[in-house]
Amino acid sequence: MAYRVLGRAGPPQPRRARRLLFAFTLSLSCTYLCYSFLCCCDGLGQSRLLGAPRCLRSPSASGQKLLAKSRPCDPPGPTPSEPSAPSAPAAAAPAPRLSGSNHSGSPKLGTKRLPQALIVGVKKGGTRAVLEFIRVHPDVRALGTEPHFFDRNYGRGLDWYRSLMPRTSETQITLEKTPSYFVTQEAPRRIFNMSRDTKLIVVVRNPVTRAISDYTQTLSKKPDIPTFEGLSFRNRSLGLVDVSWNAIRIGMYALHLESWLQYFPLAQIHFVSGERLITDPAGEMGRIQDFLGIKRFITDKHFYFNKTKGFPCLKKPESTLLPRCLGKSKGRTHVQIDPEVIDQLREFYRPYNIKFYETVGQDFRWE
């Protein structure tokens, strides 16, 4: 009995002591490694406690399995204390595609807008001249062709109409010309529905001269049509004018104007004298520019009178080039008409002209 008690109270065996020391050391090492893994960056990545994403920086050949399960790290950026080393330039990101870009990638300035102003008439009154003259102004962009939207193509919709327009900046005016609008019954209402603020330009001319010019143009395309006298009268001896012929009907300006005044006030309609446009183009264009609310950029220095054609031509004030005139279809020699026919038509138009003068407050002196 004494032996067993003495054995238990004595010092531990050397082998057992070594085992306890090894276990304690191993436990301490594991604790240290776990702490290092959580709080520091190891070879596989950075700790979540440091707020960095876990990723592979430089995987070794022995770490291919880990590489397959982890995403590569972004290139490390410089620390505030050390300057960044020069690196190869990164590939430029593709530029965003602009809505106004052409196929070559160069941007087009401006936006396609519905017109704020329209040259609505009249045929053979001088509308082409007004269009070409006003296009010289830097604050005006105009469609070169006649879209005939409000008379023939209205069913295509405003989006189609807008797509035809030139691109303009915020400070520019979009304009188009279709002379047949003035005599189209539905045009005033349709234009009003597009914008009640639309400014309207009407180029008028002595209705008898206008009718002869209209006939001359048609004759150049259809040489077999009846004579001017035959188309103008239902019964010439009785003085009965055929108002169903479009060349005659267009010149009844007061009649057509009534439709426009149902939708637009006179303040939004500007009347240009076709005769004064020839004798004083700068004066007429000055009034048009005032009506559109733009500065008087087009002046006398922009015009040169062509005696052969009988009307003014455009020139660039700073250029030594020859002036630019309207095409061959403009300035045709009119067909010779019996003076008695002209007198009869003047009498026919007289009451319409007087009413027109009174309505617009301007005497065009066609009598």
Q: Is 307 marked as a binding-site residue?
A: no
Residue matched to tokens 């057509």: 256
What residue ranges do the domains of the chain occupy? 111-211+247-326
Q: Is 48 marked as a binding-site residue?
A: no
Angle among Cα 344, 201, 329 to the nearest 5 degrees reads 65
Q: Of 124, 177, 199, 315, which is the active-site residue?
A: 124
Q: Which two tokens stand for residue 346?
A: 């003047």
Q: What pTM value is reported for the model?
A: 0.69
Q: Is 205 marked as a binding-site residue?
A: yes
Q: List, for the chain, all residue ranges whose pLDDT scores fall below the cut of 70.
A: 1-108, 309, 316-332
The CATH number, out of the four listed (3.30.750.24, 3.40.390.10, 3.40.50.300, 3.40.720.10), of the domain defined by the range 111-211+247-326: 3.40.50.300
Q: Is 218 marked as a binding-site residue?
A: no
Q: Is 331 marked as a binding-site residue?
A: yes
Residue 311 CA, distance from chain mean position: 33
Structure letter (DSSP) for residue 336:
P
SS3 163: helix
The answer to whether 165 touches 177, Cβ cutoff 8 Å, is: no
Residue matched to tokens 């009598």: 367
Provide DSSP, 90-101: PPPPPPPPPTTB
Provide DSSP, 56-74: BSS--GGGHHHHHHSPBPP
pLDDT for res 315: 81
Q: For residues 127 and 202, what is the distance between their CA atoms, to the nearest angstrom?
A: 8
pLDDT for res 37: 44
Which are the contacts of 56, defined by CB distance < 8 A and separation ≥ 6?
44, 45, 63, 66, 67, 70, 71, 72, 73
Which are the contacts of 236, defined by CB distance < 8 A and separation ≥ 6?
229, 341, 344
**Has 328 been annotated as catalytic?**
no
Tens digit of each residue's pLDDT (9 = 90 or more) over 82-108? 333 334 433 333 333 333 333 333 346
* Of 5, 9, 353, 319, nearest in space to 204 by CA: 353
Tens digit of each residue's pLDDT (9 = 90 or more) over 51-81? 444 444 444 444 444 334 444 444 444 433 3
Which are the contacts of 50, defined by CB distance < 8 A and separation ≥ 6?
39, 41
pLDDT for res 93: 38
pLDDT for res 293: 98
